[in-house]
Chain A
Amino acid sequence: MTVVQFTLLATVLFSLGLYGVLTRKNAVLVLASVELMLAAVNVNLVVFDVYLQDALHAGQIFSLFIIAIAAAEVGVGIAIVLLIYRNRQSADVDQLRSMRG
């Protein structure tokens, strides 16, 4: 197994996630795309951890942290989407323009 194959996979996942963030209209789907990007990052971290045979396993530990944080983030994010839906009766990100300059 080469390192490159894993990192290429991570790259593809990341860019697909980016495409989703930029493209999707529904707030929940934007969050889902963000999840994809985070997963890609995790793949990278773990691969390098295994490749380097890190005694501290810092890559894996860090990826655990990322997973936890991503979960917290999604929790808060869904709560916000909920609030927005309650106020505007829509989860369309295009409607969220009040910060318009």
Chain B
Amino acid sequence: MMSTLFTFATQIHLAAEEGGHSDGAEELSGFIDSGPIVEWAWLIFVVPLVAAFLIVLFGKKSPFKGWLMAWLSMGFVMVYGTVLLILNWTQGVVYYNQITVGEIGDLVIEWGVAVDGLSIMMYFLVGVVGFLVFTYAKGYMKGDVRYTWFFASFSLFAGGMLVLVASPNLIQLIVGWEMVGVSSYLLIGHYWEDYANVDAANKAFMVNKIADAGLFLGAIIMAVSVQSFRFNDVIDVVVRGEAGMLSQYAFWAGLLLFIGAMGKSAQFPLHVWLPDAMAGPTPVSALMHAATMVTAGVYLLGRLFPFYFSDMFAGDVRNIIIVVGGLTLFLMGFLAITQKDIKKVLAYSTVSQLGYMVAAMGAGAYTAGLFHLFTHAFFKSLLFLGAGSVIHAVHSNSVDDMGGLRKYMPKTYWTFIIGTLALIGIFPFAGFFSKDEILASMKYAGGNGQDVANFILVLGIAGAFVTAFYMTRMVALTFFGEYKGHGEPHESPAIMTWPLIGLAVFATTAGWLNIPGMFTPFTDWVATRVPLVGLGDHHPEGFDIPLILIVTPLVLVGVGIGWWLYGKDRDTQAERDSFRIPVLWPLWQNLYYIDDFYMAAIVRPTKGAIANAVLWFDLNVIDAVVNGVGAASQVLARVTRWTDEDVVDSIYNGAGALTEASGSVLRRNFSGRVQQYAAFSFLGVVAIAVLFIVL
């Protein structure tokens, strides 16, 4: 194995000129594009995959039943990601490298690693959040019957996610995409003894698969147009402004790829799988369905940002993007109000926040969208882990079994509060900076020609209000009032609370990495080798004061209303819920009936008519063929038997009979009379003599 790795590394070393520069594009200067640290960066995705493999094989016998290997691999990723981040911060890193693993016609399939600002940010994110979640998971999953397999799948997921963000080309991205899809399926269905969890896993996988159709088609169109799978080649074509196949099909490629992103990032109407995915263990929800996997769609948009924002190419798609993002952020927030399951609230919140990120991308706010991705990862995973801590204590997901937990679980309570404040965007917590930046960018885009951005801006502001409201509701119902459950809830063990504290620190400080006009290292981090400012990425010089003055009070009002409705009168809150907003409440509670629609329009027909048709085909056509083969075999067997017994046997019998007959004839020569023998001998001599004379 080491020699294979070494060979791989040597190949990269030898092929060092493959990546790095590309003509025709203006680039950052003074960056790092070689050297051991970047050249060995492929270890980032290999180490978790190796850990997953080893855990599968040896996990049960290894220390901590496999957790240690997983945790160490995530630690490695975290350290390496941090190192790369520091390098990028101080100097800038742009390094791409790949090896060829196959060919299709003229297209070359490659596997490699991209080490630039966008990837490094993701490495860091996955590493830090992953490390903290893995630490937490040791305590959370304690006693689980599939403990080892859990960490194997989790490591597989981490590896797959890293493959995705490390990919310099579309093929590897798709491979990583599918890997995280599979891990998601495995992990959502972790408690597969309950059939509902299996259904949830299937649903996640199926919905993603449908979206993946778009992804594959878009990738194919893009790759064939550019005659390459590499992202850099696509970007170069865009930057050079070459008219050609790509510009001709850009709209379709862009749209289809966005559909793929919609599936993974749970945009309306392909969001339906994410709430159901909460059936998985909470660490899974924290890492995958809050911080990393669901951000893959946003990441893809970020990678192909120039493509989407050059009018010559897929510029028309961005209106679609922003509208989809806007609808998602707005509509999904309301669904969070009606949920009694603490994780479902957070799930809809996640979908809504993803909508913010996608809308930001749609408005051309590359930096703002990625910054929100970054901060959201920290505070949302913090919220999920906190929810997990609560669930662990009360053994239930529902708020009906909670209440007054701040007395019993102080650490959980305080970190949850910090996470909430970050989410709803209260200064100086992280969400404030990132969300406001998105809104500011949308305002800028609206002012710069993208009229629909103004509408989405309004939705975004309203969404902030809704977010504040439902989060306050949940906090009130969970941590305040009287404890309505059974037993004695207690604080979670240290191994679970320390990650909460760590994430809380990040949730507090991460926002300070992009203070407009003052301190914006994050902007530099995610800057690409191609300057994007000209393509709509707006870097504001300072805070947009008017916007802040609108949003922040609105948020506080949301908190107030939430507290007023749910903070007091806690005992009658159950009644109160059903009195809210007559028409809308049932609509929200039934999730806009979207799930029901899908069930009726797609699932039932497939299960019914299509399944029956397939069954008919199987029974009548395929089975007929199989039976036919069976009958033919029988006939063949009979013929063979006949041949064997009648023909072949008769040959053998005949040979035997012939031998017997000839024997009885020739036996007469063995008379025992020597004189007769002598006579025949001399006859033979005469014959030979004649032969000699004649010949």
Contact = CB atoms under 8 A, between A and B. Distances in A.
B670 A99 contact: yes
A30 B667 CA distance: 25
Contacts of A98: 672
A99 B675 contact: no
A101 B669 contact: yes
Contact of B678 (A22, A94, A96, A100): A22
B682 interface: yes
Interface string B156-180: 0000000000000000000000000
Contact of A100 (B672, B675, B679, B682): B672
Nearest to A27: B674
A71 to B, nearest CB: 21
B671 interface: yes
A97 B678 contact: no
B486 interface: no
Contacts of A99: 670, 672
Interface residues of A, number: 14
Q: Is the interface of B mostly helix, strand, loop or mixed?
A: helix
B672 A96 contact: yes
Contacts of A76: none
A83 interface: no
A101 B667 CA distance: 6
Contact of A101 (B670, B678, B682): B670
B240 interface: no
Interface in B648-680: 667, 669-675, 678-679
A48 B669 CA distance: 38
Contacts of A96: 672-674
Contacts of B682: 18, 22
Contacts of A18: 682
A36 interface: no
Given A18-B682, A22-B678, A22-B679, A93 B673 contact: yes
B622 to A, nearest CB: 67
A23 B673 CA distance: 12
Contacts of B675: 21-24, 30, 93
A88 B524 CA distance: 128
B684 to A, nearest CB: 13
B679 A97 contact: no
Contacts of B672: 96-101
Contacts of B674: 93, 96
Nearest to B682: A18
B664 to A, nearest CB: 10
Q: Which of B667, B669, B672, B678 gathers most chain A CB within 10 Å?
A: B672
Interface in A10-26: 18, 21-24
A20 B669 CA distance: 21
Nearest to B685: A18
A21 B682 CA distance: 11
A99 B673 CA distance: 8
Contacts of B673: 93-94, 96-97
8 contacts: A22-B678, A24-B675, A93-B675, A94-B673, A97-B673, A100-B671, A101-B667, A101-B669
Given A96-B672, A101-B670, 13 more contacts: A21-B675, A21-B678, A22-B675, A22-B679, A22-B682, A24-B675, A30-B675, A93-B675, A96-B673, A98-B672, A99-B672, A100-B671, A101-B667
Closest 10 CB pairs of A and B: A101-B670, A100-B672, A97-B672, A99-B672, A22-B679, A101-B667, A22-B675, A21-B678, A100-B671, A100-B670
